[in-house]
């Protein structure tokens, strides 16, 4: 079974306030083993990044203004995730932003039937405990020292390791 670990970074928290995606990262898993297949793109959100979002990911308006627009990468992105289960930490957030981007260009939204939300998995498994990606890395002794800021691919790599642990699988040794 092929799965895709997916993460986005955005200009802010709320689609209702017009916030947009600035980065998409995906890592393919095949039977819980990361393959070499990845999708990654920085995006021009065509709006300013909020100060809080800038603190989280560090992507400036100047840097993002030189990147492709979502409409330029959407077909490659949709082909990458097609027919695969999506594994997302806090899926509601990422899907709301992705589906907003798809709606803006007249594409059909991503169906959430084939989505695993690792935040919900973690809350079920550890009720009352912290379930942020950092907290789960600490719980499973996953080194996240590389994560000085949130970036989609680093977060995907960490989430892949967390996901394997949440499913009570051991991370494969290569």
pLDDT in tens, 70-84: 999 999 999 999 999
Cite the active site residues.
150
- Averaged pLDDT for residues 127-132: 97
pLDDT score of 174: 46
pLDDT at 56 over 60: yes
pLDDT score of 170: 56
For the chain, what is the radius of gyration of the CA atoms?
Answer: 16
* pLDDT category of residue 149 using cuts at 50, 70 and 90: confident
Rounded Cα distance, 26 and 163, in Å: 14
- Cα–Cα distances in Å, from 103 out to 15, 50, 54, 98, 100? 12, 22, 25, 9, 5
């Amino acid at each position: 079974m092929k799965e895709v670990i997916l993460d986005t970074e955005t200009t802010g928290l709320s689609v209702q306030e017009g916030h947009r995606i600035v980065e998409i990262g995906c890592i393919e898993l095949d039977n819980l083993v990361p393959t070499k297949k990845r999708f990654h793109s920085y995006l021009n959100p065509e709006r300013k990044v909020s100060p809080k979002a800038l603190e989280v990911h560090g992507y400036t308006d100047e840097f993002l203004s030189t990147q492709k627009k979502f409409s330029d990468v959407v077909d490659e992105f949709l082909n990458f995730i097609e027919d695969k289960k999506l594994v997302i930490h806090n899926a509601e957030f990422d899907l709301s932003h992705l589906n907003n981007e798809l709606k803006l260009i007249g594409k059909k939204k991503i169906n959430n039937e084939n989505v695993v939300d690792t935040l919900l998995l973690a809350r079920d498994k550890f009720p009352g405990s912290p379930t942020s990606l950092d907290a789960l890395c600490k719980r499973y002794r996953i080194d996240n020292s590389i994560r000085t800021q949130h970036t989609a691919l680093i977060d995907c790599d960490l989430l892949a390791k967390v996901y394997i642990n949440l499913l009570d699988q051991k991370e494969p040794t290569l």
